[in-house]
Structure formats: structure tokens, C-alpha cells
Amino acid sequence: MTAAERRGTWAAATLVAHLVLAPLTALILAGTWHLGAASWQILLAAGAATLLHVGVSLAGRRPWAGYAIGALAMLVLMTMPFPGWSPGLLPSAACFPLTLWRLTALVRTRAAVAALAVTAAGIVFTELVAWARLPAGVPGWTRLAEGGLLMLIAGGGWLAALLVRRRHEAACGPNANDWPRRWRANGPASAATCTT
């Protein structure tokens, strides 16, 4: 697969995220509003979902910016009070693992580990906030289960992206993931130097 094909795959994934996840999120928020959620909660969740889509769009060219915007949006979603369920379960929340994937695929391993650590710290923080708001009738293991599931999704996606990047580097050499720098310096033809 050439670098141009990999960029095309990312564009297709981004397009699918926008065409599928955004309408599903809008439907769920409309239903939640109809069931009695406050308007400010719906607007805040919709704004955070919009930021998640902006983040996944930016991650293609600027992975750190896309990741930062996605992390901020997830922090807002996960810590806002919402009636009966976690707004972090909105379909648009799936954009955040995509930004983490893209970042892990394009940056050095040390930076990718830092991004994973920030993600894990965010999950722990949001679960602690959710634990503090836990209603009396809800068992505490539900917070542990949600936190474990979120850690599994983030860590599994991160590890998969790292393994894909390592495989590509093994086939194409240690500078295989420098295609963004080569693209900016020498144009599109210089980015497509390896086919795997």
C-alpha cells in the first residue's frame, strides 16, 4: 500500500465517521431532548460532538491538533451531568479513538505513549467524576466496567495502530512514517516511496 493509498484510506474513514456517526448522534440527542434533558445539556453535548468531528478531520494533516481537540471534547462529554446515561456513549465519541489511532500511526513511539498516558489519565479522571455522581441505587461496579471498557478500547486501538506502524516501518525502513515531512518538502511524489 502506498502512502497515497494510506491517505485515501484515512479520508474514507473520516468521511464514514461524518456520514454515519454525526446523524446517529443528532438522532440520539433529539430523542434525549424529547425525553426531558435540558437544552443546555443537549447544546453542550452537540458542541462537544462537533468538536470530535473537527478533531478527526484535522488529524489527517495535524495529528496533534486533532488529538488535542478530540481529548478536550471527550473531557467535556464525559464530565457533564446527563440524565440517566453517559454522553460519552454518543456515536460521535468513536471519533476520539480514530484521532488516537492517527496520532499513533504518525508520531514517534515516545510521543504516542505520552498520548496514550493522557488518554488513560482522562479516563481515570472521568470515571472518578462519574463515581462521585453515582446515584444511590446504582452498583459501583458499573463505573469500573465502563472505565475498563474505555481503557480496553483506547489501549487496544493504540496498540493496533502501533503494530501497523511497526509493520510498515519493517517493510519500508525507519523513516517510513516521515511522509508528511517529505510531502511538505518535496511534493506528493516524494511521499509515495514505499509500497507494502
pLDDT value of position 13: 86
Instruction: For residue 114, give Cα distances in angstroms to 3, 61, 122, 180.
Output: 25, 19, 12, 21
| Residue numbers of the chain with a pLDDT score lower than 50 | 195-196
SS3 of 44, please?
helix
How far, in Å, CA of 144 to CA of 150, rounded?
10
**pLDDT 10s digits, 72-112:** 999 898 888 776 667 677 899 889 999 999 999 888 889 99
Q: What is the pLDDT of residue 135?
A: 75
Cα separation values, 66 from 23, 52, 63, 71, 75, Å: 21, 8, 5, 9, 14
131: which 3 cell numbers? 463515581
pLDDT at position 192: 53
* CA–CA gap between residue 88 and residue 126 (Å, rounded): 10
3-state SS class at 13: helix
pTM of the full structure: 0.79
